[in-house]
Amino acid sequence: MVFLPDESRSLPPPPLVNKGSVWLGFTGWVAAMLDNGFSHRPVIRSGVHRQILFATMGWFVGYYLVKRMEYVHAKQDRELFEYVRQHPEDFKAAG
């Protein structure tokens, strides 16, 4: 998969309820409400199935963006620790 490489499978999954999921789920719901408003339909009562679909899609995208972010940070940490291990003279312990 292009979005998440196979080496990301060794990381623990992020929690199902996280900041990215909540925000993008809320954004999806608001997008459905705005679509109702721009189409001159009742904002909350019309297209409840679309509101649920957009919120679910936002939640899903948010979850995988957080997963991708955690993978990128773990990869950067691994590269940094490897550099520190290979160059101990640059990183002497404070004494």
Does 2 reside within a domain?
A: no
Does 35 reside within a domain?
A: yes
Total number of domains constituting the chain: 1
Does 92 reside within a domain?
A: no
| Residue type for position 3 | F
Task: For Cα atoms 23, 36, 59, give the angle at the middle one, nearest 5 degrees.
Answer: 20
Does 94 reside within a domain?
A: no
Predicted TM-score of the model (pTM): 0.83
**Residue 48: both structure tokens together:** 């409840």
Does 41 reside within a domain?
A: yes
Interhelix angle 19-38/48-86, nearest 10 degrees: 150
Q: Check residue 7 and give its pLDDT.
A: 86
Does 58 reside within a domain?
A: yes
Does 79 reside within a domain?
A: yes
Structural domain of 81: 16-86
Tell me: the pLDDT tens digits for 12-62? Answer: 999 999 999 999 999 999 999 999 999 999 998 999 999 999 999 999 999
Does 66 reside within a domain?
A: yes
Judge contact between 53 and 31, C-beta under 8 A. no
Check whether 1 has a pLDDT greater than 70.
no
Tell me: the pLDDT tens digits for 51-94? Answer: 999 999 999 999 999 999 999 999 999 999 999 999 988 888 87
